[in-house]
Amino acid sequence: MLNYTLITGASSGIGLEMAKVCAIKGMNVLMVSLPNENLEEKAQSIAANNNVNTDFFECDLTEIKEIDGLKDWLIKKGYGVNFLINNAGFGGTVKFSEMSAELVDKMINLNIKATTHMMNRFIPILKENQPSNILNVSSLISNQTAPYKALYTATKTYVRNLSVSLAYELKEEGVSVSVLLPGATPTNKVVTHQIEKGNFAAKVSVMSAYNVAKISIEKALNGVIIITTGAKNGFLRRLLASIPNKLTAKIAINQYKKQNK
């Protein structure tokens, strides 16, 4: 059975760059994202440029039953998985009380529930194909006090904590678990706008999606549990952890006001 790297959110941003980095390293790739994002074309181009096998599956991961559909598809096709990358997720800067019920559900379903159920469904397959790896995408600002990003940072704190505990739980079973804490990465319009209007930390932490992908894939394959990208972001992570909540809250509130002038 041929093994693949399964990447969610692979149609754009960090996920697409991860697919390219894996293919450059000779790894076969299965790309997952929402429908109608030219995923087929992107998967074919990556296969042709790197002489690897790729395939794609379009689904909405906020519908948890679609994760079962993804697993059934993969088994029917006879694909093995030895690297799972849970990258699909989204954030934004918004007043919590002004988020619609649909938006609240969507963020929790994608960032938390989909990541959790993907691991729950795919760990048995990863164990069959050990040594294998999981890489979950959290954020440099997980664990931070962040008004106006309150739900987002809470979801990313969940991803980080779940990943670190599972890293130790699965170590004996041949599955390495890593969690990536990316800083600001110019991908979609929302993030690019936030970086342009951003504070010192956002500007200092900026790194291209390709570099984030390359560093994180290499560190995950080497078994690093908590992954920061580059010395600057490692320093920023320690700095943010040492600043009192009151101060990080003040920085975030000023940031929100600046962005909404």
Ligand X SMILES: NC(=O)c1ccc[n+]([C@@H]2O[C@H](COP(=O)([O-])OP(=O)(O)OC[C@H]3O[C@@H](n4cnc5c(N)ncnc54)[C@H](OP(=O)(O)O)[C@@H]3O)[C@@H](O)[C@H]2O)c1
Residues that bind ligand X (CB under 6 A): 8-15, 33-34, 37, 60-62, 87-91, 110, 137, 139, 182, 184-185, 187-188, 191
Least distance in angstroms from the C-beta of 35 to ligand X = 7
Report how far apart the first and last C-alpha atoms of the chain are (Å, whole number): 56
Q: How far is the CB of 97 from ligand X (least distance, A)?
A: 22
Min dist CB 149 to ligand X, Å, is 11
Nearer to ligand X, 88 or 227 (CB): 88
Please identify, using beta-carbon distances, which residue of 188 and 254 lies nearer to ligand X.
Answer: 188
Please report the sign of the dihedral spanned by the C-alpha atoms of residue 216, residue 151, residue 58, residue 192: negative
The whole-angstrom separation of Cα 135 and Cα 64 is 19
Smallest gap from residue 23 Cβ to ligand X (A): 16
Q: Which CB sits closer to ligand X, 34 or 47?
A: 34
Nearer to ligand X, 4 or 113 (CB): 113
Task: Report how far residue 59's alpha carbon sits from residue 69's, in angstroms, rounded to the nearest whole number.
Answer: 9
Task: Give 60 or 128: the residue with its C-beta nearer to ligand X.
Answer: 60
Q: Give the containing element (helix H, strand E) for 84.
A: strand 80-86
Task: Give the integer Cα–Cα distance in Å for 41 and 186.
Answer: 23
Q: How far apart are alpha carbons 124 and 170 in whole angstroms?
A: 11
Identify which of residues 132 and 142 has a Cβ nearer to ligand X in the complex. 142
Q: Is 54 exposed, middle or buried (0-12, 13-18, 19+ CB in 10 A)?
A: buried
**Closest distance of CB 167 from ligand X, Å:** 18
- Rounded to a whole number of angstroms, the minimum distance from the CB of residue 4 to ligand X is 17
Contact (CB, 8 A) for 30 and 79: yes
**Residue 35 DSSP label:** S
Residue 223: both structure tokens together: 């078994």
